[in-house]
A and B are shown apart, each in its own frame.
Chain A
Amino acid sequence: MAELLKGKPVVADMKEELSKKIEEFKSRGINPKLGVIRVGARPDDLYYEGSIKKTCGGIGLEFEVFEFPEDVKQEDFEKSLKDIVNSKDIHGILMFAPLPKHLDEPKIRALIPVEKDVDCLTIGSAGKVFADDPTGFPPCTPTACMEIINHYGIDLQGKHAVVLGRSLVVGKPMAVLLLRENATVTICHSRTKDLPEVCKEADILVAAVGQPRMVNADYVKEGQVVIDVGINEDPDNPGKFCGDVDTQSVEPLVDKLAPSPGGVGGVTTVVLAKHVVKACEMQTT
């Protein structure tokens, strides 16, 4: 049976460290703060917002939501956003995407200063991530995978990591982060021939395709570490979520498994907080 790489202990350790840092800041009269921009009230966004709020509350990180009506005008939105992002009191910005269709999203994203862009919403941040410049924040989800990998002492050096999925928010940046740790990286996707065979080549398999329970026993082999990034509506249990990995069939085979739910997902919001603290550090020193 696989060792389960649960998110909780990772979250606990990270929170402890962050709390200390935030306290230190506060003792110097600096109040690290995250600004969350939400247009409309999509249930997914509200759910994520709730967990961010909980995380921030737990570690004393200041947090403010800036809410805009669904039909906000481009001009008005730009104007308010500029004020928010340029406020000295706010060190990190998260904006829920996608924005409503009538808004020019690339133009709006570009208003976020790279040094406050804690979830890699801007092309400027992505350029830094691509070029391994540590002042650019990678998206939170692939960073959360790395936190799990580090926490459980999984060695990447020279190992073959296979990333299943090539999305802009997970797959591609994940590949860049794994390369930084000297892993050999393969990125495969829906057009890959013999997908299960390619996945079996992995020492570490990261599943980020958004297909409920797609990765089953055919995709894995003994000794592997499997990280499940997927969060899908469970087709068999309405109202519940499941990952990209079929835990029941994979768990008996592999060495280690970060399950979903219970793995990467919970770490993501703490990564966001960590980025805000780092952004605050960069902005105040």
Chain B
Amino acid sequence: MTAEIVKGTEVAAAMKEEISLEMERLKEETGGGVPGLAIILVGDNPVSKINVNNIEKTAQELEFNPEVCRLPPETTEEELIQLIENFNHNKGIHGIVVQLPLPYHIDDKVILEAVLPEKDVEGLHSINKGRMLISFTPFLPCTPYACLKILEYINFDIEGKRGVVVGRSNNVGKPIAMQLLQKNVTVTICHSHTVNPAEVCRKADFLVVAVGRPELVKKDWVKPGGVVIDVGVNKVGEKVIGDVDFEEVSRVASYITPVPGGLGPVTTYTLMLNTLHSFKVVNDLA
């Protein structure tokens, strides 16, 4: 079997169309209001810059109103909090993105907690994480959300299936596990301490890998015909590779996402979906 490669750009194109149609419909109901997205970049990390530009461009294409703040690396924590406070109060802003990592002298956790949970479109505030555990969050973090969008795109019905999540991070592994439970998946979470991970993973109808270990997942980890979503982004020399050995695994899986070009483009659009949702909530249209 040779796996079908799920191209992130194609999934993203479908999402773009979906959002554009929704925007068209909303225009009439809101009298021309548009979703406002504040994007904050501190410093000049090259990867962060590219990411922020990407988010800005995507928001513009969707006719959202992006407001980008590019701040110098010496910005203080107090200044950053003040800026976030302003956006929290700004009625034209429906979502706030703080590009991570922040410079060393600023505490990420303090900053993420400063964002109003109602505008936390990245789903990183502890309140939204709590909702994930004991009720329902309006903002699923972007990466787990993108995994769900990919499964939806390939028409993979996850109801009652076995899903194995490799990695138990607070921003990817655990949130996606909680969300999959909501969708009636039987979920297993494994990690670096798991004994015989290949055997555990082979039980999966679909596998989500988010550990940050280049090409960890080999073909004997994958059930023939299984779906494999690779969240990993690892820089090895000049190359970017995923957590899955693409070459090997694509010979046994039914669908596989490549790295790069898989999850990445979809993630930006899940951020837009969350922003659009926030806009709808504010306008009583959700």
Contacts and interface: CB of A to CB of B under 8 A. Distances in A.
Contacts of A198: 162, 186
Interface string A189-206: 101110000100100000
B134 A191 contact: no
A112 interface: no
A124 interface: yes
B133 interface: yes
Interface stretch (B75-83, B190-198, B233-241): B190-198
A13 B35 CA distance: 57
B86 to A, nearest CB: 24
Contacts of B189: 175, 179, 184-186
B127 interface: yes
Interface string A126-137: 111111110000
Interface in A108-124: 120, 122-124
Interface stretch (A1-9, A29-37, A153-161, A235-243): A153-161
Contacts of A130: 126, 129-130, 132-133, 170, 174
A173 interface: yes
B101 interface: no
A259 to B, nearest CB: 26
B187 interface: yes
A158 B132 CA distance: 25
A127 B127 contact: yes
Given A179-B189, A182-B193, A184-B189, A191 B184 contact: yes
A172 B127 contact: no
A175 B132 CA distance: 13
B168 interface: yes
Given A120-B134, A182-B191, A187 B181 contact: yes
A176 interface: yes
B102 interface: no
A127 B162 CA distance: 26
Contacts of B186: 186-189, 191-193, 198
B159 interface: yes
A260 to B, nearest CB: 23
A192 B170 contact: no
B126 A131 contact: yes
Interface string B159-173: 110100000101000
A172 B188 contact: no
A182 to B, nearest CB: 4
Given A172-B178, A185-B189, A179 B168 contact: yes
A184 B188 contact: yes
A166 interface: yes
Contacts of B187: 186-187
Nearest to A173: B133
B155 interface: no
B188 to A, nearest CB: 4
A125 interface: yes
Interface in A135-169: 157-160, 166, 168-169
Nearest to A191: B184
B195 A123 contact: no
B141 to A, nearest CB: 11
B129 A127 contact: yes
Contacts of A176: 133, 174
A124 B193 contact: no
B57 interface: no
Contacts of A157: 193
Which of B126, B132, B194 has the largest count of A CB atoms less than 10 A from its CB?
Answer: B126
6 contacts: A123-B134, A129-B133, A130-B129, A130-B133, A184-B188, A187-B177
5 nearest CB pairs, A to B: A127-B130, A127-B126, A126-B130, A123-B130, A182-B193
Given A127-B133, A129-B133, A179-B191, 8 more contacts: A126-B130, A168-B134, A176-B133, A179-B168, A184-B189, A185-B188, A187-B177, A187-B188
